[in-house]
Structure 1
Amino acid sequence: MNNTLANQEKSTFVIIGGTSGIGKALAMQLRNEDNTVHIASRHTGVDISNEKSICEYFESIGAFDHLVITAGSYAPAGKVTDVAIADAKAAFDTKFWGSLNVAKHAARYMTPNGSITLTTGMLSRKVVAGTYVKTAINAALESVTKVLAKELSPIQVNAVSPGLTMTEAYKNMDDSARSTMYDNAKNNLPAGKVGEAKDIAMGYLFAINNPYVTGSIIDIDGGALLG
């Protein structure tokens, strides 16, 4: 990975969701560059849907420079007529409201030249039956990203929108079904491959490293949105 922070002073990062998948890949890259990296997730006792938990977490860290949120990727699949509204609300509480909860409390501790990078997903703009919950969550986050970029300026606020990525998110799938899903993507995506966590991590590094990017949605999906 060659999209580094080499031209910047060493910084302090907070990665919410950094114990696995994309967040973990990003944390490894940042630590290789001798930055201070704080990682939090449910596995470390931090619940992004719990405002008290988030408030106490940032109080314990104090001032820092950059925030990345990759937590909350789960959403129930199924048609509108089949998915329980309670389950849809629970997914919103985690990824949408949880991300806003984190941004709200983090902003007061961040340096003016810092950045916040959220995580959405290609389903915000790609119509796929049976994915209305994830579609709605990601679309809402992308809209709010632009509002936050204005409200929190000069802090930069962006979102990375990944496509299908080989991470632990699919570990509970049947092995054969997972392999078929990856093969189909590889054969149909313009990029000719399935994304890896390190590929997506480059997008966060770009958002952090470029001082002229804010309010942007950075698509890293192998060309999935091309049709």
Structure 2
Amino acid sequence: MKQQTVVVIGGLSGIGRAVAQRAAAEGARVIAVGRRPAPAGWSQEIETASVDITDEAAVERFFSELGALDHLVVTSGPVISSAKLVDLDINAAREAYDVKVFGQMRAAKHAARYIAKTGSITLTSGLLARKAVPGALVKATMNAAIENMGKTLAKELAPVRVNVVSPGMVETGMWGEMPEAERKAMAAQAGSGLPVGRVGQTDDLAQAYWLVMTNGFMTGAVVDVDGGGLL
């Protein structure tokens, strides 16, 4: 990864931040992209950029100004609560799709013009793509769309490799704002029902993104990192 350029959209927090830190530690030039400025104490080894992935002009401008890159990782996604169909806020669902599905599509579309033929694009879905849970209609259909997007683009953009990482329950800010004690209690309860006995940590996921970025024989794959949640 030395002398290679890695762009991580969603890279200022959570899973994306762990991916950015892992790539930087391996010697890559890393640009972490998010809607907000970098948090206090940000590593000087990782460049940052502010881009709203619901704004196609902004996404196009970012990649045209950056130029050549080797790997794109997209981890950004909305925080959306569960709701049964009869109670579903369709406008909120539309907004969630605009971030997670169309946001990843925009990023892949404009990165594809500049990415190295030996490079990769890694998208992010989630366990609910293939696990039916009442009240999770929006999350399920968004994630299923991304997994199909990854497989389609793996053929369309070849030889650029396109893969999808599917996280399960991971202890991140995606759970929303809550006191730390409440977060830990929620993590312990959720983890007790998994075969591995715990929820995931961001470093667990970073290993998976690193695998699909660096393994030149992986494309069109959906990599489950869920502690056995699908079981």
Short-chain TM bin? over 0.9
* 1:73-117 alpha-carbon deviations (Å, 9 max, x no partner): 423421111121111111001110110010000000001000000
| Alignment gaps of 5+ in structure 1 | 1-7
* Structure 1 residues 94 and 171, CA gap change in structure 2 (3 angstroms): closer
The residue number in structure 2 matching 1:95 is 100
Contact kept, 8 Å, 2:2 with 2:26, in 1: the verdict is no
Considering only aligned residues, what root-mean-square deviation do their CA atoms show, in Å? 1.4
| Alignment counterpart, residue 117 of structure 1, candidates 119, 122, 133 | 122
Residue identity opposite 2:157 in structure 1: L
Cα distance in 1 between the residues matched to 2:83 and 2:182? 17
User: Given the alignment of the two structures, is residue 28 of structure 1 paired with residue 33 of structure 2, yes or no?
Assistant: no
Contact kept, 8 Å, 1:21 with 1:168, in 2: the verdict is yes
* Structure 1 residues 135 and 47, CA gap change in structure 2 (3 angstroms): same
| Alignment gaps of 5+ in structure 2 | 38-49
The residue number in structure 1 matching 2:194 is 189
The residue number in structure 2 matching 1:59 is 64
Cα distance in 2 between the residues matched to 1:86 and 1:186? 32
| Alignment counterpart, residue 229 of structure 2, candidates 221, 224, 227 | 224
- After superposing the two structures, state which structure 1 stretch, 184-193 or 12-21, moved more: 184-193
Residue identity opposite 2:202 in structure 1: A
| Structure-to-structure mapping, 1:67-78, within 5 angstroms | 67-78=72-83
- After superposing the two structures, state which structure 1 stretch, 214-223 or 31-40, moved more: 31-40
* 1:167-192 alpha-carbon deviations (Å, 9 max, x no partner): 12224135565334312222111111
With the length of structure 2 as denominator, give the TM-score of the two structures. Answer: 0.91
Contact kept, 8 Å, 2:192 with 2:198, in 1: the verdict is yes
Cα distance in 2 between the residues matched to 1:180 and 1:104? 40
| Structure-to-structure mapping, 1:1-227, within 5 angstroms | 8-44=1-37, 45-173=50-178, 177-226=182-231
Q: How many residues align?
A: 219
Cα distance in 2 between the residues matched to 1:187 and 1:37? 36
Residue identity opposite 2:36 in structure 1: H
Q: Look up the SS of the partner of 1:31 in the other structure.
A: helix
Contact kept, 8 Å, 1:16 with 1:70, in 2: the verdict is yes
Contact kept, 8 Å, 2:122 with 2:163, in 1: the verdict is yes
The residue number in structure 1 matching 2:42 is none
Contact kept, 8 Å, 1:117 with 1:204, in 2: the verdict is yes
Residue identity opposite 1:17 in structure 2: G
Cα distance in 2 between the residues matched to 1:175 and 1:43? 22
Cα distance in 1 between the residues matched to 2:151 and 2:62? 25
Q: Look up the SS of the partner of 1:224 in the other structure.
A: coil
The residue number in structure 1 matching 2:45 is none
Q: Percent identity?
A: 43
With the length of structure 1 as denominator, give the TM-score of the two structures. Answer: 0.92
Question: CA shift at 1:70, angstroms?
Answer: 0.4
